[in-house]
Amino acid sequence: MRKNLTGKTILIIAILLVFIGGITGIPNGFSPAALKQSITDRIHLGLDLSGGTHLILQVMVAEAVGSTTDSDLQRIITDLQTAGATGATATKPQPKTEPQIITITGVPLDKDDAVRSALEDQFSAQYAIQSGANNSYTLTMKPSVVRDIETRALDQSRETIYERINRLGVSEPVVEIYGPGTNEILVELPGIEDPGRVRDVIQSTARLEIHEVLGGPYPDQPGALQANGGTLPPNSELLKSDTGSDTGGQYYLLNRIPIVSGTEFRDAQPSVDVNGRPDVSFTLTTAGGDNFYKYTSANIGKSMAIVLDNTVREVATINGAIRDQGVIEGGGISKEEAQNLSLMLRTGALPASIHFLEERTIGPSLGADSIRHGVEAAVGGLLAVLIFMLIYYHSAGINADLALILNLVILLGFMGYVGATLTLPGIAGVILTIGMGVDSNVLIFERIREETRAGKSPAAAVDQGFAHAFQTIIDTHVTTIVSAAILFLFGTGPVKGFAVTLTFGLLANLFTAVFVSRVIFEAHLNRRQRGEPISIG
């Protein structure tokens, strides 16, 4: 019985063309060089094949919590003053290990009610307020609020890092949040072999703040303690000044709560001072400028310190009110360093500092080597399989070979369309697809042989062969795809590439081994006389 195969054949040829298009895109010409060019344009290479840098960073989100409680603490201090609660002090007992706790002590009895209602008005939404002995209060930030701040810090860090990397001019950078719940960010930069510069740009929080100077300069920490009666006043910190500048290496006692914080910087540009040496000029936001103006007009004659990443960069005396324009002295930095610094200030301060957990750099020569090896192995494996099928199954072997080649075309074309990344294990996945894909054909052919031996006619044998084998093919493919899915979920970049190519390859194989092979067989049967045996080795 002749079957009408025209429709099916057209479908197969159409699919073939569509997926070839996926591999090459729309080429500019048909010469080998133009085709090669369009293929390399389409296929997106993973880091292990193109060379580049891979980093995993962790954002210290607890610091962002600390910044928020710092500004809340400032408000409390101001409120206590306006309420006239003399003798009351507010501080964070453990600023580093428990940044979410603020304590208030020594509230005078007559002001107790006023203070309590003020606290509850302003802070009960975010803090749990507990009163303690001797008119003290403990405010603990609610866990949901803490989580909120941490998530926002993570997101903001990701955006800021992305901005900074973009301005370095990296093509196709990857900056994404990595792994659930670990506050990690993945950065992948193809083609960058100098991770040092990238790390410098990413890592510095460029946290610029202006603090009130309470005391100093002291030559060292014990000296500072001595000068202050053996202890440091509440809400203060002792910071070292930058050893690069003239008065370097000394300690200053600063008010821990800044006058102007990092988020209030609107712009920063590299410039030169009167001697032609590089420095950085900055502009504050309107709100920041207002605060700064208020502070500087009320504190003429006092000193303030410009602090960059917890190091005192310079100390200046307030000679007059300053609104929103200022300059950070370079202190001998190079032009490139000034540019880096302004870039970091401009693209926003990172809300928390960054630790590096992992770094891999693949040199471009290794990448090219890997491509070569991978392709050699793939071609070697493919040839071995193609030739074997011909020898063992004779004409039916041609059937299997055609199906296999179509399988690979669909696989690569699909990856081209979806924009999937090809990694070295991904190439191994293609090689495995060759081996496991041909398994489907083997299953079918062996069954056909069996049915023929049992005495069925060629057409019936082909029918039965496909019918019986189909169940098994589905089972085997599903179990492998389940493996691959788990690999995709748990694996890192290159391993994900392997899972992707294996899965697509097996899905394509379902189509080619079952549908396409069947069509080829039937076309073959159509040409023969009824009952004439087919060549299946």
Q: Does 360 bind other proteins (CB under 8 A)?
A: yes
By CB under 8 A, which span of 146-154, 314-322, 413-421, 425-433 interacts with other proteins? 425-433
Structure tokens at 395: 């004409």
Residue 430 in contact with residue 407, Cβ under 8 Å? Answer: no
d(CA 65, CA 145): 9
Backbone angles phi, psi at 117, to 5 degrees: -70, -35
Tell me which residue has tokens 């992992």. Answer: 358
Backbone angles phi, psi at 37, to 5 degrees: -60, -45
d(CA 429, CA 158): 32
Q: Does 40 bind other proteins (CB under 8 A)?
A: no
Q: What is the three-class DSSP state of 278? A: strand
- Which position among 98, 163, 359, 463 is part of the footprint of other proteins (CB under 8 A)? 359
- Which is nearer to other proteins, 103 or 476 (by Cβ)? 476
Q: Does 38 bind other proteins (CB under 8 A)?
A: no
Q: Does 377 bind other proteins (CB under 8 A)?
A: yes
Q: Does 36 bind other proteins (CB under 8 A)?
A: no
Q: What is the three-class DSSP state of 14? A: helix
Residues 494-533 that bind other proteins (CB under 8 A): 494-495, 498-499, 502
- Which position among 442, 463, 515, 524 is part of the footprint of other proteins (CB under 8 A)? 442
Give strand pairing partners of 190: 52
Give me the least distance between CB of 336 and other proteins, in Å please: 10
By CB under 8 A, which span of 32-40, 231-239, 321-329, 367-375 interacts with other proteins? 367-375
Q: Does 428 bind other proteins (CB under 8 A)?
A: yes
Q: Does 98 bind other proteins (CB under 8 A)?
A: no
Q: Does 489 bind other proteins (CB under 8 A)?
A: yes
Distance from the Cα of residue 57 to its chain's centroid = 9
Give me the least distance between CB of 384 and other proteins, in Å please: 5
- Which is nearer to other proteins, 172 or 246 (by Cβ)? 172
Residues 150-179 that bind other proteins (CB under 8 A): 179
**Single-letter amino acid, residue 498:** F
Number of chain residues interacting with other proteins (CB under 8 A): 82
Residues 227-286 that bind other proteins (CB under 8 A): none
Give me the least distance between CB of 262 and other proteins, in Å please: 21
Q: Does 535 bind other proteins (CB under 8 A)?
A: no
**Best CA proximity match to 85, nearest among 54, 51, 61, 108:** 108
Q: Does 402 bind other proteins (CB under 8 A)?
A: no
Q: Which residues contact 335 (CB under 8 A, 6 or more apart)?
A: 270, 278
Q: Which residues contact 461 (CB under 8 A, 6 or more apart)?
A: 448, 451, 452
Q: Does 446 bind other proteins (CB under 8 A)?
A: yes
d(CA 373, CA 371): 6
Q: Does 376 bind other proteins (CB under 8 A)?
A: yes
